[in-house]
A and B are shown apart, each in its own frame.
Chain A
Amino acid sequence: MTNKLTKIIGLVLALQLVGCASLGVKPWERDILAKKEMALDAEGIDLGLDDHIYFSKEATSGGRAFAGGGCGCN
């Protein structure tokens, strides 16, 4: 089941990447993308705090950023 799911996700990602060549905008079309709230890590502080909470309470960490070292958090 897991292997199947991983393959499907891999295929979807690969197809997305193949399509990337025709995607995008011209430099002068970046007005909206340049907004602070459109940055992928726009809320870096909140995301960092959330990572710490869920790292301490759940078995999975990382993905968005490095799973990294940790703490003896309970």
Chain B
Amino acid sequence: MQLTKSKNVTAALATATCALLGVTPTVDAQESVWEMDTALLYYGETDRVTAVEGVFAAKKDFGDEHIFSAKLVLDTLTGASATGAVPQESVQTFTRPSGNGQYQINASDTPLDDTFKDTRVQLEGQWTQPLWQDYKVSSGLHLSKEYDYLSLAVNGSLAKDFNQKNTTVSAGVSLAFDTIDPEGGRPVAFSQMVIDQGQFANEEAYRTAFGETRQSGSDDKTIVDLLFGVTQVISRKMLMQFNYGYSVSEGYHTDPFKVLSVVNEQGQTQSLLYENRPDKRARHSVYWQTKYASSLGVSDVSYRFATDDWDINSHTIDTRFRINLSNNTYIQPHFRYYQQSAADLYRPFLMEGNELPKHASADYRLGEMTAYTLGFKYGMTMASGNELAFRLEYYQQNPKNSGVTAPGILQQQNLYPSLNAIIAQVSYSF
């Protein structure tokens, strides 16, 4: 009698727990449907790059937490990107990366190469399931392909729950293999840009000179990522995550489209050299995230510190605060702040007559900068249970001088221009 009672209590508790957890009993779980998430994103920089990105993600629980998820991303990119060359007091002429044709940059304008046009396809698949008691295993594949770049990656991770599932410890590894084969070939490190200003007897002579600045064939890069994490439930309303990540990449890190201006004492450009980056980079990161539910909604705060052997240290703070306006609508302000120090190989320009450094890049993305993102999202759950959301954000990058004295006319030029972008997104989940 006692035993029966006890069984009933256990069963009732189990049912109540399932209801509280929002967990569907196994029988129903096997009948779960595909959950679809779609989004369309517009990213537009003032006078530079414009990108449109579409995402289609699907997820299904095949029962007992055996979950398959897949994602398809398509994006198209057009516009102009900073070459690394410095602005001048007069019009500058550059050879396009393909070697086919030239473009000119007006006096005092930041040199931008306006020939960027690319379409990218990204495919991902991930399988997650319980392995044995309190363990969960997950593995996945990732593919990203664009005209001149291919990235293939596999990942695997193992997680274990402790302390009544209040603590989860995980370890994961990802191996990626990237191949790059840029239009016009990869430039020879520190070779000088060949600019046809009438000095060549014919097209063939120009082609020969251009060809001497190029390496044949493609190049590649391998990336190994290790990620260790602890997720901890703090209270009924709060949980935290801590991650430590180590990433090492070996191979071709140079951006084949970036150059450095070699200037004289007066700051006038004498030549343009293709950049050269090290063939190895090792990075460490620590990441902390907290989610807290209040009567207003949910706040999500994260901080990341990253450091690497190129001497780049960065701090990122990301905050989202979801405010429930009603039972089925919410508004979510978003603020992100980012700050990085300059890489040791970063040079906004090179001085004529000085010995060439072993590695150098004038890519502003390796220089000192701060950036912030400010925006909001508005979401609504419809009568059908489907969710529609709109996101609008403003992103600004402010590159900074990390202590370089500009010679002559460069003092009157803006060597560290800010970049502004608008991010707009529509999402629909069903």
Contact = CB atoms under 8 A, between A and B. Distances in A.
Interface residues of B, number: 103
Nearest to A21: B163
Contact of A68 (B153, B285, B306): B153
A45 B324 CA distance: 20
Given A24-B232, A49-B53, A60-B340, A69 B423 contact: no
A43 B55 CA distance: 13
B163 A33 contact: no
Contacts of B167: 20, 23-24
B287 interface: yes
A49 B425 contact: yes
A74 B77 contact: yes
A20 B232 contact: yes
B372 to A, nearest CB: 12
Contacts of B165: 27
Contacts of A32: 236-237, 293
B57 interface: yes
State the main secondary structure of chain A at its contact with B: loop
B164 A62 contact: no
A40 B313 contact: no
Contact of B17 (A28, A40, A69, A74): A28
Contacts of A24: 163-164, 166-167, 232-234
Interface in B69-116: 71, 73, 75, 77, 81, 116
Contacts of B322: 37
A66 B155 contact: yes
A28 B20 contact: yes
A54 B151 CA distance: 18
Interface residues of A, number: 53
Contacts of A71: 120, 122, 144, 146, 149, 151
Contacts of B305: 5-6, 9
A6 to B, nearest CB: 7
Contacts of B155: 66, 68
Contacts of B225: 62, 66-68
A13 to B, nearest CB: 5
B298 A38 contact: yes
Given A30-B21, A32-B293, A72-B180, A63 B287 contact: yes
B259 to A, nearest CB: 14
Nearest to A67: B247
A17 B163 CA distance: 13
Interface string A1-25: 0100110011001001100110111
Contacts of B306: 60, 62-63
State the main secondary structure of chain B at its contact with A: strand
Contacts of B190: none
B227 A52 contact: no
Contacts of A74: 49, 77, 81, 116, 257
Interface in B308-329: 310, 312-314, 316, 320, 322
Q: Which one of B239, B288, B391 has the highest number of Cβ atoms from chain A below 10 Å of its Cβ?
A: B239
Interface in A26-57: 26-35, 37-38, 40, 42-46, 48-49, 52-54, 57
Contacts of A16: 232, 240, 242
Contact of A44 (B37, B116, B180, B302): B37
Contacts of A72: 118, 146, 148-149, 180, 182
B158 interface: no
A7 to B, nearest CB: 11
Nearest to A30: B21
21 contacts: A13-B286, A23-B166, A24-B163, A27-B21, A28-B17, A33-B236, A34-B20, A34-B21, A38-B291, A40-B289, A45-B55, A49-B425, A52-B53, A62-B245, A64-B302, A66-B155, A66-B247, A67-B225, A67-B285, A72-B182, A74-B116
Interface of B: 13, 16-17, 20-23, 37, 39, 41, 43, 49, 53, 55, 57, 71, 73, 75, 77, 81, 116, 118, 120, 122, 142, 144, 146, 148-149, 151-153, 155, 163-167, 172, 174, 176-178, 180, 182, 223, 225, 227, 230-237, 239-243, 245, 247, 257, 283-289, 291, 293, 297-298, 300, 302, 304-307, 310, 312-314, 316, 320, 322, 338, 340, 343, 365-366, 369, 371, 377, 391, 395, 397, 419, 423, 425, 427
Q: 3 shortest A-B CB distances, which residue pairs? A: A24-B166, A69-B176, A72-B149
Given A42-B300, A74-B257, 12 more contacts: A49-B41, A49-B425, A53-B43, A53-B395, A57-B395, A59-B310, A60-B306, A63-B304, A64-B287, A67-B283, A69-B178, A72-B149
